[in-house]
Amino acid sequence: MTVANKTRLLEVKNLKQYFNVGRPDEVKAVNDISFYINEGETFGLVGESGCGKSTTGRSIIRLYNTTGGEIIFDGEDITTIKGRDRMNKFRRDVQMIYQDPYASLNPRMKVRDIIAEGIDIHKLAKNDEERNKRVNELLKLVGLDPSHGTRYPHEFSGGQRQRIGIARALAVEPKFIICDEPISALDVSIQAQVVNLLQELQEQQKLTYLFIAHDLSMVKYISDRIGVMYFGKLVEVGSAEEIYKYGLHPYTESLLSAIPLPDPEYERHRVRTTYHPTDTEATDLELREIVPGHYVYCSASDVTTYQEKLRKLKK
């Protein structure tokens, strides 16, 4: 499927991911969301902790069996995949970079073996020499020295460990990488380095990303389009520039109002917006197109209001 000469690599349709189904404590972590990601694109998924964004990523990579909906990857609904061979192909095409670079690496394995794990599983190297050569290339690709392959994870800093995690994801030559808050556990001084590395690798390796984070300013920096998530729902979707400059949904406005700027005078007078959803909201809420490419979760009667709001913001 193509849109404006761009090929859709991933399309999520009405995805539902519920836990404790049928029980009083049922949790609708992801509640009927839809979006797509084009080849070579970075789609940023942003929202506060507990909104369902990481659950969305884990559902896409099949760490959970979905409650409902479709996940179309490269033309195939992966929720229906059965058989080891088809699942192995999917696992090779889709990789994940995890939030915690400390917990996501086996402390008892050397870095060389951590990176080569996927190479071994998918039998991508003919012998040890080819395997080691590939690992050394990957270490250099992510800015580490090949000699680091003989060390253990505890001998590295947080930023270096995340680079090891990135090398592990790249080892099987994937098409699509889910970046699950890959910089949230890192020092601010290191975050930009990792994001810049991800952008360089995307260009070199022709990768497509789902970039999950709670920092809207960082998501805006790396993403082509952004989806804003709240309480299991996508409340706004649009280009990174459009969402950052002209966020329309009240929850998006609250996220934008919380972004600090290096300007003491601005910070002194900055007014933060708090989102207060009400129980009296309309029942016909869905993601509706306000202007081409910009969607807001609202009722049919609210579309004109949001269009007028956008017009005033762009004056």
pLDDT confidence of residue 20: 92
> Rounded to an integer, what distance in angstroms lies between the CA atom of residue 257 and that of residue 251?
10
Please say if the pLDDT value at position 306 is more than 90: yes
Contact 106, 153 (CB under 8 A): yes
Give the residue from 172, 124, 167, 130 showing the smallest Cα distance to 145: 167
> Is 50 exceeded by the pLDDT of residue 248?
yes
Cα distance between residue 14 and residue 48, in whole Å: 21
Q: What percent of the chain has pLDDT over 70?
A: 97
- Name the band, by pLDDT with cuts 50, 70 and 90, for residue 54: very high
To the question of pTM greater than 0.85 for the whole model, the response is: yes
235 close to 250: Cβ distance less than 8 angstroms: no
Task: DSSP for 159-206, please give it.
Answer: HHHHHHHHHHHHTT--SEEEEESTTTTS-HHHHHHHHHHHHHHHHHHT
Contacts for 42 with CB less than 8 Å, ≥ 6 apart: 202, 208, 209, 210, 211, 222, 223, 224, 225
Tell me the two tokens of residue 274: 């708090």
Q: What are the domain boundaries of the chain?
A: 2-313
Strand ranges, E, within 47-148:
68-73, 76-77, 94-97
The yes-or-no verdict on residue 57 having pLDDT over 70 is yes
Cα(175)–Cα(137) distance, integer angstroms: 19
CATH architecture of the domain with range 2-313: 3-Layer(aba) Sandwich (3.40)
Confidence of residue 279 (pLDDT cuts 50, 70, 90): low
pLDDT in the model for residue 274:
85
Residue type, 193: Q
Q: Report how far apart the first and last C-alpha atoms of the chain are (Å, whole number).
A: 36
- In whole angstroms, how far apart are CA 1 and each of 61, 134, 217, 269? 21, 34, 31, 48
Contacts 24+ apart (CB under 8 A), 257-266: 259/216, 259/217
In the predicted model, what is the mean pLDDT of residues 7-27? Answer: 94
- Confidence label for 159 from pLDDT (cuts 50, 70 and 90): very high
- How many angstroms separate the Cα of 110 from the Cα of each of 9, 19, 153, 170, 185? 34, 36, 7, 17, 22
Kindly report the backbone phi and psi dihedral angles of residue 226, in degrees, each rounded to the nearest multiple of 5, phi listed first. -130, 140
